[in-house]
Structure 1
C-alpha cells in the first residue's frame, strides 16, 4: 500500500439477491510509513496460573497520547500512569523509559482470560490474541515394589 491510498472505503456484504445490499460499513484507512502503534507479538500463549507479557510500541508522534491495554470482550481498559483508577493486581502496565513502549504483565492467568485484546495509543489500536491453556502434567510413573523379607516371613 502507498500513503496515497489513505482515505474512506466502503465495505459491503451481499448475502441474497445481487441487487440488494445486505449490510455495509464506511471506514477510514490511514497508511503510514511506520505504524503509530504495534506489538512485538500479536499472538500470545500462556498456561493457567502462569503469566504473560506483551510489549506495545508506539511512534514518537504519539508519545503524549493515552496508552492503554484493553480487552475487547468486556471493553475494560488499563491505562499507563493512571493513579486515580485502582489497577487490577493481575494486570500491571509499566512504561519502558525512553523506548516509546510499554509492557503489560498479566499474572495468575485463568482459562477465561483467553480472547482478543489490544494495545492502544490515542485512537490507534494493535490487536493481540491471548490463548490460555491448562498446563500439561508430566506422566505419572508407578513403581512396583517387591515384598520385603519381613513380609514374606509373616
Structure 2
C-alpha cells in the first residue's frame, strides 16, 4: 500500500475449500508526524543459529510485546517455536527485542505490539551453508592461489639453480685447452731440449689448431 493518506479499516478474506471463511480485519492508522509505533527495520535476514535484534520505537506506550503472527506473545523473556526471545527497555521510547537460537522454521511474520498497535516484521532465517562470509571467500581464494604461487616459486628456484651450475661449470670446471702443456722425457739430448722449449714457446703464442706432432715428451731417467 503506497501513498496512504487517511486511516481506514481493511480486511483480508480467507479462502477455505468449503467457501469463504472468516476475514481478518485490521485498522490502518495514518498520523501526521512521528508514528505512535514503528520499527527500525521491517525485514531482517539472519543465518541459522545466529541472533538478531529488532528495535521497536513507540510513544511511551507499555508494555511492548513481541508476538508471532497468529501465535504466542512474549512480554519479558520466553520462547517462540524454540527461538529464545528477550525484551530490553533501553530508553523510554525504544524497546529492543533480541531473538537467538533461530532455526529455519522460525522464518515468518512477527509483530512488535503494544496494547492497541502492531507493527509487522518479517524474519528470514537462512541455512548456514547458504551464507558465505568474507573470511570464507578469502580462505577459498588462498586455497586456489597457493598451488599456483608454489609452482611459480619452484620454477624460479630450478631456473636459478641451472644458471648457477652453468656458471660454476664454465668458471671452474672447464677443461684445459689442448696444447698448453708439454711432457718431457729425460733421455733427450740437450739439443733436443732446446728444440722442445722452442716448440713450447710457439704453442703458448700460436692460436691456430695444432697437430699431435706439436707435443714433445720428455721422460726423466
Residue 95 (structure 1) shift:
0.7
Quick check: 1:87 aligned with 2:81?
no
Q: TM-score, normalised by structure 1?
A: 0.65
Q: Does 1:72 align with 2:66?
A: no
Work out the number of aligned pairs and report it: 126
Q: Which structure: greater strand fraction?
A: 1
Structure number having the greater helix percentage: 2
SS of the residue corresponding to residue 41 of structure 1 reads coil
Alignment partner of 2:95: what SS?
A: strand
Are 1:29 and 2:28 counterparts? yes
Q: Which runs of 5+ in 1 are unaligned?
A: 13-21, 81-85, 145-154
Query: Structure 1 CA distance, aligned partners of 2:126 and 2:68?
Result: 18
Once the two structures are TM-superposed, the CA of residue 6 in structure 1 deviates from its matched residue by 3.1
**1:15-39 per-position Cα deviation (integer Å, ceiling 9, x unaligned):** xxxxxxx787765433212211110
Taking only aligned residues, the RMSD between alpha carbons, in angstroms, comes to: 3.2
Distance 1:10 1:46 in 2: 31
Is the alpha carbon distance of 1:72 and 1:11 closer, same or farther for their aligned partners in structure 2, counting shifts above 3 Å? closer
> C-alpha distance in 2, partners of 1:50/1:11?
33
Instruction: Give the distance between the partners of 1:25 and 1:115, measured in 2 at CA.
Output: 18
Distance 1:8 1:106 in 2: 31
Residues 39-90 of structure 1: per-residue CA shift (max 9 Å, x gap): 0000001111111110001024x2xx321001115x111114xxxxx62382
1 or 2 for the larger relative contact order (CA 8 Å, sep ≥6)? 1
Shift of 1:8: 4.4
For the residue of structure 1 that corresponds to 2:113, the secondary structure is: strand
Per the normalisation by structure 2, the TM-score is 0.47
In structure 2, the partner of 1:43 is 43
